[in-house]
Structure 1
């Protein structure tokens, strides 16, 4: 069986939305549906329950997702071991990235990079924070674009290059008592039911929000857990009291019955980082960093992100200190 089918099902099991999963996988929804039908025919069992408004995993689907994750993990680990052998993996790069936060500028950069380095094979994997960090720690990818709370949750054994900052925002129903404000404070948010991703699904997402609240000595309590951020935001569409917290770049999840408001407390922003292991022997990493730093040097991150997320909130994004000196320092001083 093609390993890609397993990866596709894992993405779909996270999104529980065919359109969203197809977008993350850079494929069409009909093709993804056909692939799922192939898997169901192959195993002779229904993996998903589909309706007009939602997609749910069957018990067989949940078991298959667990086993598929093991298979994909072992496959990636084996590939990493082979690439670590002398003379192997000298002309390839594996990159993990966060879809909406990084896809537009990364696609532009990789197009130019591929023209300059046609012999370097690029493998890109779209995933959430937990997936990318896990791949980096297992050495199954060479570089990763991650999101983390500003000045917090650094991965000490990896080198970091901060690209830009992305503010924490709250999604509220249009009829919520806080919806008329220009922004909301964490103390106010804590007085209402907070809807969040299930902790076992994305422990790092929970840790990020918890850190923001702890900084301002506010208790962080989740009233209801959902399997993904899409489900969280959909709940706000019909629940006039619920609140969902997310970074601004995911503001496109805001529905017609909800609004996005910036969190006004100091330090409530995420850093978008490029991270890598300085001890990784892959020589292509240095060339990638040099080219990417040059690409970033004259880039106006604030204007770029404002164009993509203008309908969301008026709070501007602040550009991070990107430059050749920063990259050099990170490369010799991990963390």
Structure 2
């Protein structure tokens, strides 16, 4: 029996849904299903009863759920105690950040981490989404905070990464404040200002631009693109009435401008994640991720 299998089991038991559990763990549904089957073979009993419509825990599954929670808690306590006992943990950790995405949790967390591990040098490097993807590919950073956008699953490159979701946010259409009128639909917003979509150049915004165009196309909108060189210019251009933009809700909230308003796009979400290569050889990554776990369990969503 592997610790990983217990974590998979507990996640399925939490949601009573294999698809939702797989999404949280960033693995495929067949993978998690196979691991549960292997676990059932090892313990010699069925842990779930399955029908075409739902699943539920068997009495044996309920018993394992209780014990597995204790086991995982004990393991995490042991790891934390071991790390605390080792006062020689030292080195350098290069972290890619986007800026607005981490603002709601990173200042307090990084300060706490540095206090606990003063011998670890944290090097923060800020990127836009497209340049962050490039930094990952070129191994310029050990880990980074990135966005799981709709096109994310199309990237074969990221199949070689581990991910931890920190919170989920909505995508929204950013507009000049004066254009925010009751009852206006997404199509009306997108066609303001001659239908211009203000967005960072593809070399900078990367897959974010593809996602924005795809989402607008799904709503029957094919805008012209007005490229910018950075996020600040994008928002300033929208404030100035040069077009509209499509961004996560936390971006305009962090920018905090009275000249901007935004409309949530229904059923369109992104995950803010921490990511690192599966074959990464910096041992400090595990230390960092372990300390980040309480943040991950606390911040779930950023929308009503």
Give the TM-score band, short-chain normalised. Answer: 0.5 to 0.7
Q: Aligned in 2, Cα 1:90/1:255: closer, same or farther, shift over 3 Å?
A: closer
**Residue of structure 1 in register with 2:181 after alignment:** 180
Distance 1:167 1:104, change over 3 A: closer
Q: 1:156 to 1:262 in 2, by over 3 A?
A: same
Q: Distance in 1 between matches of 2:148 and 2:91?
A: 30
From the superposition, tell whether residues 183 and 229 of structure 1 become closer, same or farther in structure 2 (CA, over 3 Å): farther
Q: Once the two structures are superposed, what CA deviation does each residue of 1:5-58 show, in whole Å capped at 9, x if it has no partner?
A: xxxxxxxxxxxxxxxxxxxxxxxxxxxxxxxxxxxxxxxxxxxxxxxxxxxxxx
Q: How does 1:1-335 map to 2 (within 5 A)?
A: 91-150=91-150, 152-153=152-153, 155-176=158-179, 179-181=180-182, 184-185=185-186, 187-192=187-192, 193=195, 194-213=197-216, 216=218, 218-239=220-241, 242-251=243-252, 252-253=254-255, 255-264=257-266, 266=267, 268-297=268-297, 299-302=298-301, 315-316=303-304
Distance, in Å, in 2 between the alignment partners of 1:121 and 1:230 is 29
1:51 maps to what in 2?
Answer: none
SS at match of 2:139: coil
Preserved contact between residue 97 and residue 146 of structure 1 (Cα < 8 Å): yes
- The one-character-per-residue Cα deviations of 1:116-160 (angstroms, maximum 9, x if unpaired) are 323222211122112222222111211100113257345222111
Gaps of at least 5 residues in structure 2 are 1-88
Structure 2 contact 163–273 (Cα < 8 Å) conserved:
yes
CA contact (8 A) 2:143 2:276 kept: yes
Q: Tell me the SS of whatever aligns to 1:280.
A: coil
Computing the radius of gyration from Cα coordinates, the structure with the larger value is: 2
Q: Is the Cα contact below 8 Å between 2:131 and 2:203 reproduced in 1? A: no
> What runs of 5+ residues in structure 1 fail to find an aligned partner?
1-88, 306-314, 317-335
Q: CA deviation at 1:272?
A: 0.4
Report Cα offsets for 1:210-255 as digits up to 9, x if no partner: 34335x363443342233333333333343x832222111114464
Q: Is the 8 A contact 1:148 1:208 kept in 2?
A: no
Aligned residue in 2 for 1:11: none
Separation in 2, partners of 1:90, 1:117? 8
Higher fraction of strand: 2
Q: How many residues align?
A: 209
TM-score by length of 2: 0.60
Do 1:233 and 1:255's aligned partners in 2 also have CA atoms closer than 8 Å?
no
SS at match of 1:175: helix
Give the CA RMSD over aligned residues. 2.8
**Structure 1, 196-205 or 117-126: larger mean CA deviation:** 196-205
| 8 Å Cα contact 1:98-1:129 kept in structure 2 | yes
